[in-house]
């Protein structure tokens, strides 16, 4: 039966390709979702858990959110349940995107929008997430099947389309703008876009859409030799966009497609993909739930376990018009933003004035730094408390003798060199 349902899914997908009416495409998508849920039911039967209405911090084995809600008790996140209000769009459900989608699903994200035009192949099995029995399904449908099984509380939307085509771009833009209501109110569009695509052209399309919408996004990438990767935060107008600093080969006008060598396939490792997906979702969580520091750019070189970071300001001469518009808007609102930040800082500092703890049962007291310094300098100058003497020579004496010895050695070395030179000349 599962085979029949799979082929029905494929038929619906090809039917969608022949229809241009947006309303009809929507109903075909709904039909596909229903078929996917039937496939899920036939596969997992009674083991599938039911939806959870409210996230609870109760520590019982049957609570899927107890370990996540503990982040509040540990003082890391103020209000973890807010995660249910957020919508995240993931473009590219490959080695990085699928793992990122699974992580966000397990974290209980409110809504996930998944975009990819490809189908699952056996050649994808060296990476995480997809299973051999999903070969032939579109990546987005296969992802919905797995993810809805893991966490039925997440609203999943599957968009099997190519965003680099005119029609695909239109649907992509519309879906990013669509309003969405969850129990605690209304969200407009999505809160974050994660780009997990593997080519420059698709990144430029995500860049264009996000610049036009003023939408914050994060970009990720893994190198063709599978041993390095990066993530980057892009806030239109505030940080460099993807067109602000194009890769050299693209800036010199070479068509990316001509770079691909016939018969040469890119390498990929589940490890590097997993690390990059982990870094990407970690920063997405920090951004959404407002904790820690969100990296503007974080590289990963697995050969040396090196993680470079840097910040990139927008280019005032960027070739992308929407980027220039967002830069202007950002500059116009700067004074208001600075004033708000200043008053927030002042409010915080006035709140922090006075002792943190009036009394404590361990009689711990805060020692002034200047007091510490004077104590230290006492030790160095040799002024010890009454009755104590230095066992070893003091630091000054040591330094003095070392310094003279060092200069003596240098002089000796120079004389020796001179002698050798003279001997050579004589010969
Ligand atoms: Zn730009």
**pLDDT digit string, tens, across residues 34-80:** 888 777 767 655 567 888 988 888 888 888 999 999 999 899 999 99
C-alpha to C-alpha distance for 97 and 129, rounded to whole angstroms:
10
- Tell me, yes or no, whether 183 lies in a domain: yes
pLDDT at position 218:
98
pLDDT at position 263:
61
- Tell me, yes or no, whether 343 lies in a domain: no
Ligand 1 centre and the CA of 30: distance in Å? 37
Ligand 1 centre and the CA of 195: distance in Å? 16
- Tell me, yes or no, whether 411 lies in a domain: yes
> Is the predicted pLDDT of residue 207 greater than 70, yes or no?
yes
Confirm if 247 and 253 have CB atoms less than 8 A apart. Answer: no
- Surrounding residues of ion ligand 1, Cβ less than 5 A: 241, 243-244, 318, 320, 323
Examine the domain organization and report whether 401 and 319 are in the same domain.
no
- Tell me, yes or no, whether 175 lies in a domain: yes
pLDDT at position 368:
55
Grouping H, G, I as helix, E, B as strand and the rest as coil, residue 138 is strand
Examine the domain organization and report whether 303 and 418 are in the same domain.
no
Ligand 1 centre and the CA of 219: distance in Å? 14
Helices (H), 45-195: 66-73, 97-106, 139-150, 166-177
- Tell me, yes or no, whether 296 lies in a domain: yes
Ligand 1 centre and the CA of 233: distance in Å? 13
Ligand 1 centre and the CA of 292: distance in Å? 27
Examine the domain organization and report whether 292 and 425 are in the same domain.
no
What domain range is 398 assigned to? 393-427
> Is the predicted pLDDT of residue 417 greater than 90, yes or no?
no
The residue out of 301, 318, 334 marking a domain boundary is: 334
Q: Mean pLDDT score of the chain, rounded to an integer?
A: 83
For the domain that residue 196 is a member of, what is the CATH number? 3.40.50.720
Confirm if 236 and 322 have CB atoms less than 8 A apart. Answer: yes
The residue out of 334, 352, 370 marking a domain boundary is: 334
The residue out of 319, 334, 349 marking a domain boundary is: 334
Confirm if 172 and 207 have CB atoms less than 8 A apart. Answer: no
pLDDT at position 371:
47
Confirm if 226 and 269 have CB atoms less than 8 A apart. Answer: yes
**CA angle, 416 then 420 then 421, to 5°:** 115
Please give the average per-residue pLDDT across 215-235, as a whole number. 95
The phi and psi torsions of 366 (rounded to 5 degrees) equal -85, 130
C-alpha to C-alpha distance for 380 and 302, rounded to whole angstroms:
45
The most confident of the ranges 263-272, 311-320, 414-423 is: 311-320
Ligand 1 centre and the CA of 154: distance in Å? 33
**Which one has a higher pLDDT value, 50 or 216?**
216
Ligand 1 centre and the CA of 426: distance in Å? 68
> Is the predicted pLDDT of residue 215 greater than 90, yes or no?
yes
DSSP codes of every residue in 277-333: HHHHHHHHHHHHHT-S---SEEEEETTTTB--B---PPPTT-S-HHHHHHHHHHHHT
Number of domains in the chain: 2
C-alpha to C-alpha distance for 9 and 259, rounded to whole angstroms:
35
Examine the domain organization and report whether 303 and 233 are in the same domain.
yes
pLDDT at position 374:
44
C-alpha to C-alpha distance for 101 and 80, rounded to whole angstroms:
18
Confirm if 279 and 300 have CB atoms less than 8 A apart. Answer: yes
Confirm if 207 and 321 have CB atoms less than 8 A apart. Answer: no
- Tell me, yes or no, whether 58 lies in a domain: no
The phi and psi torsions of 393 (rounded to 5 degrees) equal -60, 150
Q: pTM for the full model?
A: 0.72
Examine the domain organization and report whether 244 and 116 are in the same domain.
yes
Ligand 1 centre and the CA of 245: distance in Å? 7
Active-site residue numbers? 265
Examine the domain organization and report whether 397 and 317 are in the same domain.
no
Examine the domain organization and report whether 291 and 403 are in the same domain.
no
Examine the domain organization and report whether 293 and 418 are in the same domain.
no
Examine the domain organization and report whether 89 and 199 are in the same domain.
yes
Tell me the per-residue pLDDT of 345-404, one tens digit each, with 9 for 90 and over. 888 887 766 555 555 556 555 555 554 444 444 334 445 556 565 555 544 444 444 444
The phi and psi torsions of 192 (rounded to 5 degrees) equal -155, 140
Q: Which residues of 366-390 are buried (b: 16+ CB within 10 A; e: fewer)?
A: eeeeeeeeeeeeeeeeeeeeeeeee
pLDDT at position 181:
58
Examine the domain organization and report whether 287 and 427 are in the same domain.
no
- Tell me, yes or no, whether 314 lies in a domain: yes
- Tell me, yes or no, whether 219 lies in a domain: yes
C-alpha to C-alpha distance for 109 and 155, rounded to whole angstroms:
8
Grouping H, G, I as helix, E, B as strand and the rest as coil, residue 291 is coil
């Amino acid at each position: 039966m599962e085979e029949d349902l799979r082929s029905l899914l494929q038929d619906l997908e090809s039917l969608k390709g022949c229809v241009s009416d947006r309303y009809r495409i929507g109903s075909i998508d709904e039909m596909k979702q229903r078929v996917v849920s039937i496939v899920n039911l036939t596969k997992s039967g009674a083991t599938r858990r039911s939806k959870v209405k409210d996230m609870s911090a109760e520590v019982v084995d049957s609570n899927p959110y107890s370990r996540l809600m503990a982040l509040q008790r540990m003082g890391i996140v103020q209000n973890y349940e807010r995660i249910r209000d957020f919508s995240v769009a993931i473009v590219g459900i490959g080695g990085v995107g699928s793992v990122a989608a699974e992580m966000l699903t397990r974290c209980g994200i409110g809504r996930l929008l998944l975009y990819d035009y490809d189908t699952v192949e056996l050649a994808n099995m060296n990476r995480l997430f997809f299973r051999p029995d999903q070969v032939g399904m579109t990546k987005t449908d296969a992802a919905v099947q797995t993810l809805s099984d893991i966490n039925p509380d997440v609203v999943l939307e599957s968009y099997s389309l190519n965003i680099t085509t005119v029609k695909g771009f239109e649907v992509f833009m519309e879906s990013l703008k669509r309003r969405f209501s969850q129990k605690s109110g209304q969200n407009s569009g999505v809160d974050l876009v994660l780009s997990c695509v593997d080519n420059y052209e698709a990144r430029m399309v995500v860049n264009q859409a996000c610049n036009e919408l003023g939408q914050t996004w994060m970009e990720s990438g893994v190198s063709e030799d599978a041993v390095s990767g990066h993530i980057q935060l892009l806030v239109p107008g505030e940080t460099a966009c993807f067109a602000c600093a194009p890769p050299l080969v693209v800036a010199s006008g070479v068509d990316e497609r001509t770079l691909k060598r016939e018969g040469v396939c890119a390498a990929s490792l589940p490890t590097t993909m997993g690390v990059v997906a982990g870094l990407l979702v970690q920063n997405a969580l920090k951004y959404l739930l407002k904790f820690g520091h969100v990296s503007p750019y974080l590289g990963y070189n697995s050969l040396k376990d090196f993680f470079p970071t840097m910040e990139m300001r927008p280019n005032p001469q960027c070739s992308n018009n929407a980027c220039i518009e967002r830069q202007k808007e950002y500059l116009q609102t700067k004074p208001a933003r600075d004033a708000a930040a200043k008053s927030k800082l002042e409010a915080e500092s006035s709140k922090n004035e006075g002792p943190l703890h009036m009394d404590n049962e361990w009689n711990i007291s805060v020692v002034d730094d200047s007091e510490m310094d004077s104590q230290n300098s006492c030790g160095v100058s040799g002024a010890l408390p009454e009755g104590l003497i230095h066992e070893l020579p003091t630091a000054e004496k040591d330094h003095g003798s070392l310094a003279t010895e060092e200069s003596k050695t240098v002089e000796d070395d120079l004389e020796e060199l001179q002698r050798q030179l003279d001997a050579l000349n004589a010969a």
